[in-house]
Chains A and B, each alone.
Chain A
Amino acid sequence: MLGQRNDNNPSLELVCPAGTPAALKAAAEAGAHSIYCGLRNETNARNFPGLNFSEKELNAGVRLAHKHGSHVLVAVNTFARAGDTHIWKRAVDAVSASGADAIIAADIAVLDYAKEKHPNLRLHLSVQAAAATPESISFYQDTFGVQRVVLPRVMSVEEIVKLNKEVTVETEVFVFGGLCVMTEGRCALSSYATGKSPNLTGVCSPPGDVSYDEDDSNLYARLGGFTIDGFGEGETAGYPTLCKGRFKAEGETSYLFEDPVSLNAASLLPRLQKAGVTAVKIEGRQRGKAYISQVVKAFRAAVDAMDAGGNAEEEVSAMLSAMTEGGRETTGAYKKIWR
């Protein structure tokens, strides 16, 4: 049963990504407590070519996950277009019919439809809703009966501790993978460069607008014709996102917003547990089975070690080092004191 964490059961729930049925199988076999995925259309925020599930695949995926004792959470977390809400309604109906354990949504129209048409479907508030205050969280809880909130990746551990004392819903936080440094659901950087909104169509830095060009031994990443970064020989590359771009400002070239690094908060798991967090989430529905399997095994080992009163930080670090963007890691905003 989802969300059963309490004083007698302090174990963190490990929520893992799956972009394909094969990845879902890998996550379940690697020990994921919960697996999140999305349908193959613009209703979810990882709408990349060749990724995601048909309705038939979702049904089979839910059965397979349940057989392994894993829960399935389905993201329908983009914002429905006015006058064209059909595919979002159909997605919610399909999630309910699949027997999935919860739906992850951000748009108030999607949440309202789910609550009205499928009152028994558990609602999780997506990070795309950017709810980070007790007031906004209470609104979603009181209005739609939301039972869990995925917190934005811009909060420090201290802020999470404080927030958890003021809300009664479960909280879920990201602990590994790609790092959005902007307030999610409200970021328009990719829209400026490509004319396509990640919040509406589900794709940040649409691959069709991305190009990689090699010139001698340099690799240049471009988005919508804008050069985002240039990587010299031997330099590790990153995702083609503007927030991790290297730009010239006031005569100096630097990563203005954030370096091309991945979030790795494995070392903070005990603090997050103490902060009252219910679930920890791994980013990466766009990543392959090899990544899913390795990262899920590493975090499951860490969570199990904590449950046994120990610590598996070193082993987990070794298992994760090859998976990170730019080959580098950060604890993100969790330890930052600036804004």
Chain B
Amino acid sequence: MFFKPERGLFPPALQKALGILPVPPLGFALTRAVRRLARHRPDLFERLDTYKRTHFIIDPIDIPHVFRMIPNGEHATVEMFKRKDAPEGAARISGPLIVLLGLVDGTYDGDAVFFTRDLVIEGDTDAVLALRNTMEEADLSPAEFLGFNGRPREVVDGATNKTLDHLRRLLDAPTATS
């Protein structure tokens, strides 16, 4: 092993390398994905209630970028910033990228990774809880979130789950809850 894995964090060399690269246009793709979800599952955004206008800062601590998400239904936006340009938000959710992804697909229980300090929340706790509970209800698979259907969805989910599972072991991430 050329690095000592620690609680799911990307190795420092990779973190540095990612910092040199330009900001990828991920925000655009994620905005489209959230808006598509709002069209297909409006019930989810009702569950968010007034918190759909909250500015959430999603901070994967082991990459040099942060995301600002405003999950306002079909007007939702997701933007990606270099960490040094990160805006202030009403609520911040921080943790290794692999842990944050695991919260989206239900691999991890939010409370369990909070107890172990793998996840840190700051700011408007009401809003964070509303988002967490909405994500729970969404029960999204990676391919579903990206808009795949039918056979392609199965293929993408199978490959993604296998890759993430392998990464969790490689990075010594917290044990999956599910």
Q: Are A48 and B129 in contact (CB under 8 A)?
A: yes
**Chain B residues near A23 (CB, 8 Å)?**
136
**Chain A residues near B171 (CB, 8 Å)?**
none
Give the size of the chain B interface in residues (CB under 8 angstroms): 41
Categorize the interface residue count of chain A. 35 or more
- The listed residue (B121, B125, B128, B133) touching A20 by CB distance below 8 A is B133
**Chain B residues near A57 (CB, 8 Å)?**
43
Per the bound structure, the CA–CA distance linking A294 and B176 in Å amounts to 10
Q: Are B177 and A212 in contact (CB under 8 A)?
A: no
Closest to A178 in B: B111
Interface positions of B from 106 to 120, Cβ below 8 Å from A:
106-112, 114-117, 120
**Chain B residues near A234 (CB, 8 Å)?**
117
**Chain A residues near B175 (CB, 8 Å)?**
322
A10-24 near B? 1/0 per residue, CB < 8 Å = 000000000111110
A295-339 near B? 1/0 per residue, CB < 8 Å = 000000000000000000000000000111111000000000000
Q: Are B137 and A22 in contact (CB under 8 A)?
A: yes
**Chain A residues near B127 (CB, 8 Å)?**
49
Stretch at the interface among A116-124, A146-154, A281-289: A281-289
Instruction: Using A23-B136, A49-B133 as known contacts, say yes or no to A323 and B112 having CB atoms under 8 A apart.
Output: yes
Per the bound structure, the CA–CA distance linking A207 and B151 in Å amounts to 41
Q: Are B120 and A208 in contact (CB under 8 A)?
A: no
A143-173 near B? 1/0 per residue, CB < 8 Å = 0000000000000000000000000000000
- The listed residue (B49, B121, B125, B178) touching A289 by CB distance below 8 A is B178
Q: Are B130 and A50 in contact (CB under 8 A)?
A: yes
Q: Are A289 and B136 in contact (CB under 8 A)?
A: yes
A21 CB, nearest partner CB in chain B, Å: 6
**Chain A residues near B178 (CB, 8 Å)?**
289-290, 293-294
Interface centre among A23, A238, A290, A325 (most CB of B within 10 A): A290
Closest to B94 in A: A214
B151 CB, nearest partner CB in chain A, Å: 24
Q: Are B51 and A288 in contact (CB under 8 A)?
A: no
B90-112 near A? 1/0 per residue, CB < 8 Å = 00000000000000001111111
Per the bound structure, the CA–CA distance linking A237 and B47 in Å amounts to 27
A268 within 8 A of B: no
A51 within 8 A of B: yes
A189 within 8 A of B: no
Q: Are B133 and A236 in contact (CB under 8 A)?
A: no
Q: Are B109 and A50 in contact (CB under 8 A)?
A: no
Per the bound structure, the CA–CA distance linking A294 and B121 in Å amounts to 24
A24 CB, nearest partner CB in chain B, Å: 10
A213 within 8 A of B: yes
B24-51 near A? 1/0 per residue, CB < 8 Å = 0000000000000000000100111101
**Chain A residues near B106 (CB, 8 Å)?**
288-290
A-B contact list, 26 entries, CB within 8 Å: A22-B139, A48-B129, A48-B133, A49-B130, A50-B131, A50-B132, A206-B126, A210-B125, A211-B125, A212-B121, A219-B120, A231-B117, A234-B117, A237-B117, A286-B111, A288-B110, A290-B107, A290-B176, A291-B111, A291-B112, A291-B177, A322-B112, A323-B109, A323-B112, A325-B115, A327-B116
Given A288-B132, A322-B175, 5 new contacts (CB under 8 A):
A23-B136, A219-B117, A236-B115, A286-B133, A322-B174
